[in-house]
Amino acid sequence: MPEITINPTTRIEGHHATTLDVEDGVVQDAKSHMEMFRGIESVTLERPPSAVPDITGKVCGVCFTCHRLTSSRAVEDAAMAAGVFDGVPRNAHLLRDAMEGIFYLWNHTIHLYALAGPDYSDAVAGTGLTRLDPMEGEGYLEAMDHQRTLMQAFAEFGGRVPNSLTYVPGGMSANPDASTIQSVKDHVASVSEWIGPTDAVPEVIENVRNGEFEPSVGAGLHDLVGLLYAAAEEGAAEYGVGPRRYYSNGVFRLPEREEFLFKRGIYRDGSIEPQTKAEILDAITESTAHSWYTDDSAGRPASAKPPEPAPGKDGAYSWGKAPRYEGQPMEVGPLARLVISDIDPFDLRAELGGASAASNTLNRLIARTQEILLVRDNVLGLLDAIEPGDPFTAEWDDDFDGQGVSLFEASRGALSHWADVRNGQINQYQIVTPTLWNMGPRDSDDTPGPLESALVGMEVEDVETPLDVMRTIRSMDPCLACSVHLQTPTGEYETVLEPATPGAVGKETTNTSEDTDVMDKSAKSDATNESGGKITDDR
């Protein structure tokens, strides 16, 4: 049986490879390989809680914002469980959601124009979609300009991009005035005008069907709808079928709202099942049966030790763990969010993708496009609701014992950070990323991950250029940098952390060590997690 090795998987974030066993032109088996070690959890140990967002925000140069925010919320949750923190001000909720909404728009634009979109361009697939030709298409170039505008808007609040410093335990380090908020609104409005009004979608669909391009009703909409119809013509609704189970933590909820914009829950056996935070925390486990980690690095994130490498482990083929929900693999991301929220704007997934809840390569593209419209409209409302002059931060102190978890939805899917604080220091820390959910390896039952199962059964006409396989891999918007990292070379290093934290904290923390010592700390860390901390934050 011939084996196809795709290494590296190009046009994605990070370091990934895929191997396929192909017989008679059909994929019989697939393995997803995450090829570098992630040790960021170990780096957080014995640090004060306020220092952790500075560290985890550097998990990735792309997803810096969601990790910094989720980390801040995890230690806030621990402080709330300890009874020493009452929550962030309303303005902080609004600004955090507005910034994450801007980031969604940026990430989805990059995905659809630069990472996945070129697979359906005229230059790559002869579809006639010349505006999406990489590096030269007019739509591609316009999108690059507008993604820069979105990052400029983000930097107005964040000070810099990437690795903005705005999110801190207790709220926000920024205190934007009315003119700054207006400047951000102007940036977002200019991108919004380029995308086009949501209610113009039916007209744009008609234009695309007739081969017409009318930028006055949205150049971006014409590109994106054109991409979806080109993908449909290429048969993308017929392949890339995942486990048909979805999971979402829910996201974008104002303090006074009863529900998230994108709801929390799971979808399985054809039904939506709303889930509470407690139910989600109880359902999540990680397997290391096929990962280069020790067996006791697996289990429940709240009690398992930070990942301890076992590079010679028999049967392992990935540096990624295999997250499971009640023992089952789940697909996460925009399609999961919209299926669980029972949202299918303009019935695009039902009409082009086979069914609103159908799992396939095309529906992942459609859902991401639909989210651009839904999130764009929500961001402008959030910015309008901010009250300049009202507080953005609350008092914060690192000196507590507690356990906390933040469940969030990064643009790529379900993300969770798990923190255990003892005597004012991090005793235990875990991160479960969207890419681990979608692209993790087999578990202890030898059940493949969502990507691995989505590739099985696909036809491969050209073993030299398995384009549909690549389309399916990219449709899950993998970001390996969040899931695996490069191990530092042997030698001494020094880090100096100056947390931009409001309130009483802001102490400089200096650590000098050899990286091998850091690994030893991880291995020796007490993983019992018996601080007695009570998780009370329902975010």
24-59: per-residue pLDDT in tens? 999 999 999 998 887 888 899 999 999 999 999 888
Instruction: Match 């669909």 to its residue by tokens.
Output: 205
Q: Is 24 left (phi over 0), alpha (psi -120 to 50) or beta?
A: left
pLDDT at res. 64: 79
> Does the pLDDT of residue 133 top 60, yes or no?
yes
> What is the separation of C-alpha 78 from the centre of its chain, rounded to a whole number of angstroms?
22
pLDDT bin (cut points 50, 70, 90) of residue 536 is very low
pLDDT at res. 496: 56
What mean pLDDT value characterizes the chain? 88
Q: CA–CA distance from 72 to each of 274, 339, 386 (Å)?
A: 25, 28, 20
In degrees to the nearest 10, what's the CA dihedral of 206, 209, 212, 216? 40
Instruction: Match 């030790």 to its residue by tokens.
Output: 305
> What is the separation of C-alpha 3 from the centre of its chain, rounded to a whole number of angstroms?
30
Instruction: Match 């889930």 to its residue by tokens.
Output: 275
pLDDT bin (cut points 50, 70, 90) of residue 482 is low
CA distance 123 to 397: 56
346-380: per-residue pLDDT in tens? 999 999 999 999 999 999 999 999 999 999 988 98
3-state secondary structure of 513: strand
Q: CA–CA distance from 133 to each of 4, 113, 306, 372 (Å)?
A: 27, 9, 43, 21
Amino acid code (one letter) for 69: L
- Whether residue 76 contacts residue 421, with contact meaning beta carbons closer than 8 Å, is answered with no
Instruction: Match 């959910």 to its residue by tokens.
Output: 437
- Provide Rg for the chain, Cα atoms: 22
406-452: per-residue pLDDT in tens? 999 999 999 999 999 999 999 999 999 999 999 999 999 999 999 99
61-83: per-residue pLDDT in tens? 677 789 999 999 999 999 999 99
pLDDT at res. 215: 95
> Does the pLDDT of residue 248 top 50, yes or no?
yes
For the record, the structure tokens of 222 come out as 């014409």
End-to-end CA distance of the chain, in Å?
Answer: 49
Mean pLDDT of the 241-252 span: 97
> Does the pLDDT of residue 126 top 90, yes or no?
yes
pLDDT at res. 268: 98
- Whether residue 363 contacts residue 349, with contact meaning beta carbons closer than 8 Å, is answered with yes
| Of the candidates 387, 407, 413, the residue with the CA atom closest to the CA atom of residue 333 | 413
| Of the candidates 368, 361, 363, the residue with the CA atom closest to the CA atom of residue 468 | 361
pLDDT bin (cut points 50, 70, 90) of residue 517 is very low
Q: Which helix (H) or strand (E) holds 17?
A: strand 16-23
| Of the candidates 531, 517, 299, the residue with the CA atom closest to the CA atom of residue 419 | 531
**Sign for the pseudo-dihedral over CA of 432, 435, 436, 438:** positive
CA distance 535 to 33: 34
| Of the candidates 219, 190, 242, the residue with the CA atom closest to the CA atom of residue 367 | 242
pLDDT bin (cut points 50, 70, 90) of residue 533 is very low
152-180: per-residue pLDDT in tens? 999 999 888 888 889 999 999 989 999 99
Q: CA–CA distance from 390 to each of 90, 172, 393, 418 (Å)?
A: 9, 12, 9, 30
pLDDT bin (cut points 50, 70, 90) of residue 538 is low
- In our burial notation (b when 16+ CB lie closer than 10 A, e otherwise), range 491-519 reads eeeeeebebbbbbebeeeeeeeeebeebb
CA distance 8 to 15: 7
CA distance 385 to 181: 11
Helix axes 361-385, 219-233, angle to 10 degrees: 160
3-state secondary structure of 485: coil
| Of the candidates 131, 347, 130, 354, the residue with the CA atom closest to the CA atom of residue 235 | 354
Q: 455 exposed, middle or buried (CB, 10 Å; 0-12, 13-18, 19+)? A: buried
295-336: per-residue pLDDT in tens? 999 999 999 988 889 988 999 999 999 999 999 999 999 999
- Whether residue 509 contacts residue 47, with contact meaning beta carbons closer than 8 Å, is answered with yes
pLDDT bin (cut points 50, 70, 90) of residue 494 is low
Helix, strand, coil share (%) of the chain residues, nearest 5:
40, 20, 40
pLDDT bin (cut points 50, 70, 90) of residue 339 is very high
Q: Which helix (H) or strand (E) holds 30?
A: strand 26-34
Q: CA–CA distance from 334 to each of 34, 338, 455 (Å)?
A: 22, 6, 19
Q: Which helix (H) or strand (E) holds 272?
A: strand 271-274
**DSSP per-residue codes, 456-469:** TT-B-S-TT--HHH
CA distance 421 to 75: 8
pLDDT at res. 344: 98
